[in-house]
Chain A
Amino acid sequence: MATPTLVQDTDVEHAVGTIQRGRVVRKGRVLGVTTALALLAFALFVATMMVGSFPVTPWEVIASTFRLGSDPSVDFVVRDLRLPVATTALAVGLAMGVSGLVFQKLLANPLASPDFVGISSGAGLAAVGSIILLNVSAMFVSVAALGGALVAALLIYLLAWRDGITGYRFILIGIGVSELMVALTGYLIARADIFEAREAMTWLVGSVGNAGPTQLRILLVALAVLLPLTLVLNRHLDVLELGDDAAKALGANVERMRLVLLAVAVVLVALATAAAGPLPFVALIAGPIAVRLIGANGSGLVAAAFVGALIVLVADLVAQHVVPVELPTGVVTGAIGAPYLIWLLATVNREGRGG
C-alpha cells in the first residue's frame, strides 16, 4: 500500500492477470487432486468386485457392470453378489465424506462431524432399540435408523435455536443429545441377552453388506440430487465460513442457508447410516484428509466425497478379504483413514493446512 492514490489502470490489469493466473493454478490443483481421487475410487470400486472365492478380471467386472458383454457365471457373481456391496460402499462413502465436511465447515470445528454432534447416535439408539426391544427385520431397522437420525438432528436444531443458531451452541446441544442417546443405547445393550447385544453391536459398527436393494436405491437417488445441490450451495458455505456478521453484510440469508446446508448434510448422512450403519469416523476423517490434500486451493467438497468413498471401499476390501475372519466394514473404517490422517498431520507443513 505504498501510494494508494497512484493506483493505475495498468497496475489493476497486472493484478487481474495475477489473480487469474493464481485461480487457474488453484483450480488446476483441485481438479488434479479430485480427478486422481476419483480414478482411485473407481479402481477400488472395480477391485472390490474382482477378489473373492471366484476371481474375476477387471475387464470382466467392467463389462458385466456396464452390461457390455454377457457371461452368465460372471454376471451372477458380479452383478448379483458383488455389485450391490461395492455400490453401497461407494455411495455411503461419498455421502458421509461430503456430509462430514459440510458439518465441519458450517460449525467451524474440525471435530463437528455428524458422528460427534449426535446425528449418528440418534440413528444408533433407534436401530438398537428396534433390534433389542422389537426384534424386527433389517428393513425396519433401516427405517428406524433413518428416523432416529432425522429426529436427533431436528431436536438439536430446535433446541439450539435462540434468535438464530450459533455453531457453538449447536455443538454443545449436540453433545448433550448425543450423551443421552449413547447412555440409553449402552443401557439397552447391557441389559439385552448376549445374542441381541451382539446383533446390536454389529449394527452399531456398520457394514456395507447390510444394505438391502431398497435402501441402496433411495441412497443413490438422494446422492444424485443432493451432491450437485451441495456444489451449487458451496458458494453460500464459502461466505458462511466468514462468520455470521460478514456473511450477513455480504447479503447472505444466513439462517436459511445454514438450515438448507445442514438439512442436505443430515439427509445424506442419515440415508447412508440407514443403509450401512454408522461406519464410525468416515464422516469425521474424510474432510480433514481432503482439505489437507487440496491445501488452500479450494473448498474440497468433491474431494471429501471421494476420500470418504476410498475409505469405505478400502475398508470393505480389508474387512472381507485381508483379515483372517470376515468382519463388518465399520470395524476397519477407523483403522483405514486414521493412520493416513495421522501421517498427514505429522508431515503437511504449516504453509498448507497443517493446522
Chain B
Amino acid sequence: MTLAHARSTSPAPGSGVAAPSHRHGGGLAAGLVVLVGVLAVVAFVSVTLGTRDVGLATIWKAFTDFDPDNTSETVIRELRVPRTLVGLVAGMSLGLAGAILQGVTRNPLADPGIMGINTGASAFIVVSIMVLGVQGLGTYIWFGFLGAAVAIFVVYGVASFGREGATPVKLALAGAAVTAGFYSVTTGVVMTNVDALNELRFWQVGSIAGRYWPVFTQTAPFMAVGVAVALFSGRALNGLSLGDDMAVALGQRIRLTRSIMFVSVAVLAGAATAACGPIVFIGLVVPHVARALCGPDYRWVMVYTALLSPIILLSADIIGRVSAGDGELQVGVVLGVLGAPAFIALVRRRDLAEL
C-alpha cells in the first residue's frame, strides 16, 4: 500500500509531461558538468571570502609553505578550509539522506527530521550536557551521532514489526512517534537546565561556523562511506518507488534493500547532524529541487542532490558571513529565509514530480 496517495488528482494523459523525465541523458549529463563547476566556484569563494578576504596565492602558500605567524594563512588553514569541507560533505550527506528517506517511505515529508534523527541527536546532546557536564562541540558531537543512530534504528525496528515489514505508512508514523518521544526528553531537560538550553539554542539553528579540523576528520570518514552507498542506491530506490509489490516483482529483496538504505541514512544524517546541527532544509527540500531539474529517475536524483546540496549549503553560509555586518547569520537561518521562498516559487512554477 503506498503512502503517497497524495498523488495528483489529474493523472490524465498530457498532464504527466510537466516533469521533464523525458529529458535525455545528454542534457542531464551536461547539467552535471555545470553543477560540478558551480560547486567548485562556491567552494573557492567560501575559502576566500569573509571578514578577511584573501587571494589564491595566500591559499596556496597556507598549504605549501605555512607560516604560523601569518594570520591570513592561519585563518585559511585552520578555519575556512575545514569549515568549507564540513559544509561540503555535510551538505552532501544531508541531501542524500533526505532523498533516500523520501524514496524509501514514498513520502515528501519524510526527512531526517521526521525520522527522529535530529531530535535523537538533540536529546542525547542535552542529556550529555546535563548528566555528564559535557561542554563544547568537539565532545558532544559523538553524543549527537549516537542519538541519531539510536533514533533511526528504533524507528526502523518498530516499523519492521508485523507481517509485511517496514511499509511507508508505518515508517512515517514510527518516525513521527520516535521524534515525539525524543522531543519530550529534550524539552524536559532544556526546561530545567539553563546550560543545556544555552548550548541547544545555538546548536539547533544549524551552522558550520567554528567547525575546525577535528570536526571534519572525526565525521568525514562516516559521511564518505554513506555518500558512496547512497550514490549507488539510485536503482534500488527506483524499484522501491514503484511500490513494494512491483519492487519484489522486479527481483528486489526489499527488506534487505530497506535495511541497507536505513543504515546509510543513519550514518549520513547522524554524522552530518552531529557536525553542523539539524539543518533540516537540505534533506527536506533539495531532493525536491533535484527532482524538478532531472525528473523522477533516482539514479539522476541522487547525483543531482549530491551536488546541489553542498552548493546550496555553502552559498547560504557565504551569504550569512557577508550579510550581517560584524557578526554572522547561521546557515540554518539563511537557508530558511532565502531558501524557503525559493522553494515555494519552484513548487508553484512546476508540477513537481511526485514520489
Contact digits for A102-137, partner B, Cβ 8 Å, 1 yes 0 no: 000001111110001000000000000000000000
Q: Taking the complex as formed, is B201 at the interface, i.e. its CB lies under 8 A from any CB of chain A?
A: yes
Stretch at the interface among B81-89, B140-148, B164-172: B164-172
Q: Is B184 in contact with A335, judged by CB distance below 8 angstroms?
A: yes
Instruction: Give the contacting residue for B162; candidates A186, A341, A354; CB below 8 A.
Output: A354
Contact of A334 among B7, B9, B169, B180 (CB under 8 A): B180
**Selected contact of B170 from candidates A281, A323, A339, A345, CB within 8 Å:** A345
Which candidate, A24-32, A146-154, A169-177, A228-236, is the interface stretch facing chain B?
A169-177
Please state if B191 and A331 are interface contacts (CB–CB under 8 Å). Answer: yes
Q: Establish whether residues B6 and A167, one from each chain, have CB atoms under 8 Å apart when the complex forms.
A: yes
In the complex, what distance in Å separates the CA atom of A341 from the CA atom of B155?
12
Which residue from B108, B180, B347 sits with its C-beta under 8 Å from A281? B180
B47 contacts A by Cβ under 8 Å: no
Within 8 A of A (CB), among B152-169: 158-159, 161-164, 167, 169
- How many of chain A's residues touch chain B, expressed as a range? 35 or more
Taken together as a complex, chains A and B put the C-alpha atoms of A167 and B7 apart, in Å, by 8
Does A346 sit within 8 A of B, measured CB to CB?
A: yes
Check A179 against B339 for contact (C-beta < 8 Å): yes
| Bound Cα distance A245, B1 (Å) | 20
For B352, the closest partner residue in chain A by CB is A172
Residue of A whose beta carbon sits closest to that of B11: A245
Q: Which residues from A are CB-within-8-Å of B333?
A: 183-184, 186-187, 190
A168 to B332 CA separation, bound complex (whole angstroms):
25
> Are A179 and B9 in contact, CB atoms less than 8 angstroms apart?
no
Cα distance A355–B177 when bound, in Å? 15
A179 touches B343 (CB 8 A): yes
Tell me whether B217 is interfacial, beta carbon within 8 Å. no
| Contact partner, B109, options A109, A327, A335, A346, Cβ 8 Å | A109
With A110-B172, A159-B344, A176-B343 known as contacts, the answer to whether A339 contacts B191 (CB < 8 A) is: no
Is B19 an interface residue, CB under 8 A from the partner?
A: no
What distance in Å separates the Cβ of B18 from its nearest Cβ neighbour in chain A?
11
With A and B bound together, what is the CA distance between A175 and B343 in angstroms?
9
The answer to whether B163 touches A345 (Cβ under 8 A) is no
B269-286 interface code vs A (CB 8 A; 1 in, 0 out): 000000000001100110
B347, chain A: closest CB distance, angstroms: 5
For B51, the chain A residues whose CB sits under 8 A away are none
Query: Which residues of chain B in 167-187 are interfacial with respect to chain A, using CB atoms and an 8 Å cutoff?
Result: 167, 169-170, 172-174, 176-185, 187
A244 near B184 (CB under 8 angstroms)?
Answer: no
Known: A187-B330, A190-B201. A333 touches B184 (CB 8 A): yes
User: Cβ of B3 < 8 Å from any Cβ of A?
Assistant: yes
Given the interface pairs A172-B347, A179-B280, A339-B181, the reply to whether A108 lies near B170 with Cβ below 8 Å is: no
Which of B158, B170, B191, B340 lies in contact with A183, CB distance below 8 A?
B340
Pick the interface stretch among A72-80, A194-202, A260-268, A297-305. Answer: A194-202
> A345 to chain B: which residues have CB within 8 Å?
158-159, 161-162, 170, 173-174, 177
Q: Is A189 an interface position by the 8 A CB rule? A: yes
* Of B61-69, B192-200, B218-226, the one with at least 4 CB within 8 A of chain A: B192-200
In whole angstroms, what is the CA distance A183 to B348 when docked? 21
B163 and A350 contact, CB distance less than 8 A: yes
For A244, the closest partner residue in chain B by CB is: B9
What B residues does A280 contact at CB under 8 A?
180, 183
When the two chains form their complex, are residues A355 and B169 in contact, meaning their CB atoms are under 8 A apart? yes
Whether B191 contacts A328 by the Cβ 8 Å rule is yes
Among B177, B204, B336, the residue within 8 A (CB) of A179 is: B336
A284 CB-CB contact with B under 8 Å: yes
Chain A residues with CB under 8 Å of B315's CB are none
Whether the Cβ atoms of A346 and B162 lie closer than 8 Å is: yes
B308 at the A interface (CB under 8 A): no
Chief secondary structure at chain A's binding surface: helix
B76 interface hit (Cβ, 8 Å): no
Q: B78 contacts the other chain (Cβ, under 8 Å)?
A: no
> How far in angstroms is the closest Cβ of chain A from B323?
12
Whether B352 contacts A355 by the Cβ 8 Å rule is: no
The answer to whether B248 has its CB under 8 Å from any CB of chain A is no
Residues from chain B with Cβ under 8 Å of A201 in the complex? 187, 190-191, 197, 201
| Separation of A272 and B36 alpha carbons in the complex (Å) | 48
CA–CA, A183 and B340, complex, Å: 9
Contact at B336–A342, with CB atoms within 8 Å? no
State whether B183 touches A334 (Cβ < 8 A).
yes
Provide the B189-217 mask, 1 if CB < 8 A to any CB of A, else 0.
01110100110011011100000000000
Is residue B329 within 8 Å, beta carbon to beta carbon, of the partner chain? yes
Interface pair B352/A338, CB less than 8 Å apart: no
Q: B332 touching A176 by the CB < 8 A rule?
A: no
From A176, A197, A331, A355, B347 is in contact (CB under 8 Å) with: A176
Which chain B positions have C-beta within 8 A of A53?
Answer: none
- B110-138 vs A, CB cutoff 8 Å, 1 = contact: the mask equals 10001000000000000000000000000
- In the complex, given contacts A171-B108, A186-B201, A345-B162, what are 12 additional A-B residue pairs having Cβ atoms less than 8 angstroms apart? A168-B352, A169-B347, A172-B347, A175-B285, A177-B344, A180-B336, A182-B336, A184-B336, A281-B176, A281-B179, A281-B180, A331-B191
13 A-B pairs with C-beta separation under 8 A: A166-B6, A166-B8, A180-B341, A190-B330, A202-B191, A332-B188, A333-B180, A333-B184, A335-B180, A346-B158, A346-B161, A350-B162, A355-B173
Residues in chain A within 8 A of chain B (CB atoms): 107-112, 116, 159, 162, 166-169, 171-173, 175-177, 179-184, 186-187, 189-190, 194, 197-198, 201-202, 205, 243-245, 280-281, 284-285, 288, 323, 325, 327-328, 330-335, 337-339, 341-342, 345-350, 354-355
Residue positions of B touching A, CB distance < 8 A:
1, 3-10, 107-110, 114, 158-159, 161-164, 167, 169-170, 172-174, 176-185, 187-188, 190-192, 194, 197-198, 201-202, 204-206, 280-281, 284-285, 288, 329-330, 332-337, 339-341, 343-344, 347-348, 352, 354
